[in-house]
Structure 1
C-alpha cells in the first residue's frame, strides 16, 4: 500500500521525478490518480537520478501511466540490449535509449554529431555540426531546445542568462550560451554516431569550427579584450585537444599546424606550456609536409614556448629555422618578429653582439613600416637584454619606456604587463621611486588578465624588490612561492630580475633558520595567494 501523495515526496527519487516533470510541464501535479504509476516508474528505474530525469522529461508527451506501460511492455528498454553491463549501468543505458527513441529525426542526428564535442559547446558549434546533415541554423536551434527539454543536453551557462537566443551569432555573445552532455550520454551518442557512418564528416566540421575560433582569437590575444578571449579558449580547451588529436591522427597536418600555431599565446599565458610543446613537438617533426608559411608559424610557436620553458638551446634552433623561412617568404612583418625572437635568444645565450644586431634590424624593419605594435615588441626585448644581459639599466629604461608607450597606444595589455615588469625592475636598480608603482601595475594587470606566467614573473619582481628594500623575509616568502609555482608549471629555473643573487642576499641577511621558515611559508602559498600577498605589501 502506497503512502498518501503528500508523503511520497519525502522519497528522493519521487521528489526528483516531480521536480523534473514540472520543469517539462508546469501544470504537472502528483496526486492519487498518478501516484502509483510514478512510484512504479521510479522503482523500475532503480531510483537512479539520471534515469528518472530522462523519464520525467517525457511527461509532456506521455502520462505517468503511459510511462509505466512503456516500461512494462518494453523489456528491451530495460536491458538496453546488452547482457554484459552491470544492472545499474544497463538501467541507465535503457533510459538513454528510451529518450533517444522518443526524439525527432532531426534531434536524433544532431544529438549524435554533438558527441564529438568535449567539455561542452556553444550554439555556434552546434550549428556548424548541424551542417553534417545540411540542417539550417533555425532547425538546429529548435533541435537544441528539444534536446535540453529531454535532459539529453544540459545548458551550463548562468541560470539568470534568460531564454535561448538564436540571434547570438558572434563568438563572444554565444560564449554565454553553452551546452554539455553527461559523459555516459555522450558515450552512447558516440556509439550511435559510429553506427551512422557519419563520424568522419562530423569530426571534420568540428575541427574546422575550432580552427576558425583559434585563428580568430589569435589577433585578439594581443588586444584589449585578451582576457575575454583567453577565457573563451579556456572553456573550449578540451575541444581544441579533441580537434588536434583527430587532425594529427588523420594526417591533416596543415590544419593541425595552423591550429597549434594560433594557440601558443593562450598556452603561454595560462601556463599550458608543457602541453603546448607536446602538440607543437609532434607537428615540428612533420612540418616538412606543411606549406612554408604554416611551417614557419609552427616553428615560431614552438620556439616561443621553448623559450618560456627555459629550453634556450631548442628555442634558438627553432627561431633560427623560422628566420630562414621568413627571409625566403619575404613577409616583412613576420620577418621583423623573427629577427626579434632570434635576437633576444642569441643575446641571452652569450652572443649579445649578434643578438643586438638582429634586434636593430628588426626595429628598423618595423620603423620603416610604421608598425607600432612591432616597435613595442622589439623595444621590450631590447630593454630585457640591456637589463638582464648587458646589465645597463640606464639604457634599458629608454627602450622600455618607448615600448610601454607603444603598447599603451596599440592597446595590448599583455605587452603593457611584460614591459612594466621589466621597467619596474630597471627603476629599482636606479633607486627610482617609480619602481614600486610600476611593479604593482604589472602584477595587478597580470592578475586581472589571469595571466599565470605574468603572475609568476610579477611575483619574482616584487620578491627581489622587497629583498633590496630591506624586507628580506617578505621577499623570501615570495621567492619560495614563485619557485613552487615554477616547478608546477614545468619551467626551468628563472634567473631574470637577478633572482639567484637576491636569494643569496636574503639568506645572508636572515640566517639559515629564518630563511628556511620564510621559504617554506612561501612554498605553501598558491600563486593567487602570493599575488595577493605582494599586492597587499607583503603583510605590512
Structure 2
C-alpha cells in the first residue's frame, strides 16, 4: 500500500490511490483500529476533493462519520453525516440519502432522542419503499427500528423487525449487521428473563466474531461485558457454559429462528 501511494503514483493514478486509501480505511475500521482508519480515510477524502468527485466525497464523509461514531464522538459524526446528506440530496442518490438519514438517526439515538431517531429511520424507510435493489439498507433501517421498539418494551414488534432484518442479512452475508441483530436478541432475552436463551445467543455471536475476524468497537465491548455479567448473575456456571456452548455450535439461522419464536411466545 505505502509503495502504491508514493507521491509520484498518487499524481499518476489519483483515482486508484483514492480508492486504495478508502478501501484500506474501511477494512481497518472493521478490524477495530479506528485511529488508523481515520488516517486512511482522510487521505482518501483529500484526493476525492482534488478530483471534485462528489459521490466519493460523500462516501468517504460517511465512513469518517462512522469512525467518529464508533469513538463516541457523536456531535462530530453528526456534522459529517449532515454534510453527506446534503451532497447526496443534490446528486439525487436515494439510497445514499437513506443511509445518511439512518446515520443521523443513529446519532440522535446515542444522544438519547428516540423520537428524533425514529423519525429519521421512518423517513429513510419510506424513501426505500418498494426498492428491491438496496435490501441491505432496508435491513439496516428495520434493525434500528427494531432496537427502538425493544427499548420501548414492544418486544413482539421488535422481534418481528429483527427477524425481517436478519433474513436479509443472512442472504447478503452481512456479518456486521447480523451481529447487531444478535445483540438486540440478547437484550430482549435478558429483559424477558430468558437467560439461557441469552447465553446461547451470546455464544453464537462469539463464534461469528471469531469466524469473521470482526472486532468489537469500544461501545460494543461495553455492551458485551454488561450482558455477560447480567446472564452470569442469573445462571449457574454449568448452565451458562452449557447454553453458551450450544449457541457456539448451533446453525446460526436455526438458532435465530428459535430465539424469535421464544421471544414471541413469552
* 1:398 is aligned to 2:116: no
Give the root-mean-square deviation of aligned CA atoms: 2.6
Distance 1:504 1:386 in 2: 28
Q: Aligned to 1:491, which of 211, 214, 220?
A: 214
1:416 Cα offset (Å): 1.3
Provide closer, same or farther for how the CA distance between residues 404 and 284 of structure 1 changes in structure 2, counting only shifts above 3 A: farther
| 3-state SS in 2 of match to 1:431 | coil
**Equivalent residue, structure 1, for 2:18:** 296
* 1:521 is aligned to 2:246: yes
User: Is contact 1:480–1:521 with CA below 8 Å preserved after alignment?
Assistant: yes
Which segments of 5 or more consecutive residues in structure 2 lack a partner in the other structure?
none
Provide closer, same or farther for how the CA distance between residues 469 and 348 of structure 1 changes in structure 2, counting only shifts above 3 A: same
Distance 1:425 1:434 in 2: 10
Alignment of 1:27-426 (within 5 A): 283=1, 285-288=3-6, 289=9, 291-387=13-109, 389-411=110-132, 412-426=134-148
Distance 1:398 1:507 in 2: 36
| 3-state SS in 2 of match to 1:444 | helix
Distance 2:214 2:103 in 1: 20
User: Is contact 1:456–1:527 with CA below 8 Å preserved after alignment?
Assistant: no
Distance 1:285 1:341 in 2: 24
1:331 Cα offset (Å): 1.3
1:428 Cα offset (Å): 0.8
> Looking at both structures, which has the greater relative contact order when contacts are Cα pairs under 8 Å and sequence separation is at least 6?
2
Distance 2:15 2:62 in 1: 18
* 1:530 is aligned to 2:248: no
Which segments of 5 or more consecutive residues in structure 1 lack a partner in the other structure?
1-282
1:440 Cα offset (Å): 1.0
Provide closer, same or farther for how the CA distance between residues 427 and 395 of structure 1 changes in structure 2, counting only shifts above 3 A: same
Question: How many residue pairs were aligned?
Answer: 257
Distance 2:2 2:141 in 1: 30
| 3-state SS in 2 of match to 1:434 | helix
1:488 Cα offset (Å): 2.1
